[in-house]
Amino acid sequence: MSSTTISTKNASGTVADSRGNVSSAPVGEDNELIRAAAKATRDLNTPKPAIYWADFLASVAVGYGSLAGAMFSQSMGLTIFLGLIAALALYRAGSFIHELTHVRRNALPGFHFVWNALFGIPMLIPSFMYEGIHSIHHRTKKYGTVEDPEYLPLALMKPWSIPLFVVVAALAPIALFFRYAILSPLSAIIPPLRRVVVERYSGLIINPEFRRKPPEGDLKRRWLACEIGASIWAIGLLAMVATGIIPTRAFLIYLAVLSASVVLNQIRTLVAHLWENDGQEMSVTAQYLDSVNVPPPATLPALWAPVGLRYHALHHLLPGVPYHSLGEAHRRLAAELPDGSNFYRADHDSLWTLIKGLVRGSAGRN
């Protein structure tokens, strides 16, 4: 079952759906839904290491293999084809950064280290840029507020904000090289610059008002190790391009593939929520209704919302359920809950439906 109408609280404390229709009822807590979700998924909270390792390593192998083929192929058609395969595979591999923030390290021994070594550092997106950031997005009193690093009220902003939100992501590779090849070494010797780098350029955030706090404890150690590795990689790669060891064409293809994967993730982020909250605190149910599921029979979400991200609303309701069990969790709840349950109101048909709803809602409010 799916619906393209979702309710969430707006500035007046009423409920506005994604079409802009306003109801007078506030979004309270749906305790029946919360209890049913917890009860039906008690046995699904344990991650299966074999699935994580096989999925990630296969994605990396396909991604880097296709990327190498694209970089050095002399056929434009083959370069484009392999580049698209590489972008999709590396996007899937990169999406595991979301799992790193939710799965305990002792549940997947070595996985965090290998992910950073094989993907995070080579792609200049080490895990510290998400660890300690994403957890704030899941705090009940932080979600959707000015303190949430991963929330912007896009549905309440000017219509041009939506395409700009996607287009700016295409520049991410350049920004990442600047961050690690230039800002990292400079900030190591200029304390005021270091403060700015930590606060504003050390997280995968979309809220420009958010400022990150300095890392502490074990995260500080991991951060430093990953940042040094990423900085050395960025400087070394640019040096090899400057000296001709790596052909400029091959490097530009590498940047294009990285840019394509980031843009794809930005499009996925664009429809992960309805973005209708104006900064107020929201109940758990309201957060669920402001988030999005795109369950089967839709098939394309397996590409644009991989590693369980097609069940983003369910993930906000059950953040402890690993990605490989979210589909089963959704099936169980769909079989148990009645048609009128709020559970179904987070289900949508497609990416296109969600984008149209967001653009229509933004245009209607401005």
CA dihedral 313, 317, 318, 319 (to 10 degrees): 70
Residues in the chain: 366
Distant-in-sequence, close-in-space partners of 136: CB < 8 Å, separation ≥ 6: 142, 147, 148, 149, 150
Per-residue pLDDT at 9 exceeds 90:
no
Sign (positive/negative) of CA torsion 72, 77, 80, 83?
Answer: negative
How much is the mean pLDDT over the chain? 91
Residue-wise pLDDT for 186-245, tens only, equals 999 999 999 999 999 999 999 999 999 999 999 999 999 999 999 999 999 999 999 999
Residue-wise pLDDT for 46-99, tens only, equals 999 999 999 999 999 999 999 999 999 999 999 999 999 999 999 999 999 999
% residues pLDDT > 90 (the chain): 87
Residue-wise pLDDT for 259-270, tens only, equals 999 999 999 999
pLDDT of residue 362: 77
Quick check: 268 and 257 in contact, CB under 8 A? no
Quick check: 318 and 284 in contact, CB under 8 A? no
Cis status of the peptide bond prior to 173, with omega within 30 of 0? no
Per-residue pLDDT at 257 exceeds 60:
yes
Phi (first) and psi of residue 296, to 5 degrees? -55, 155
Reduced to 3 states (helix: H, G, I; strand: E, B; else coil), residue 273 is strand
Model pTM greater than 0.75? yes
Question: Distance (Å, rounded) from C-alpha 93 to C-alpha 143?
Answer: 26
Q: Which two tokens stand for residue 263?
A: 């843009």
pLDDT of residue 172: 96
Residue-wise pLDDT for 157-186, tens only, equals 988 999 999 999 999 999 999 999 999 999
DSSP string, 91-149: HHHHTHHHHHTTS-GGGSTTHHHHHIIIIITTTT--GGGTTTTHHHHT-TTTTTSTT-T
Question: Distance (Å, rounded) from C-alpha 314 to C-alpha 37?
Answer: 9
Burial class for 265, CB neighbours closer than 10 Å (0-12, 13-18, 19+): buried
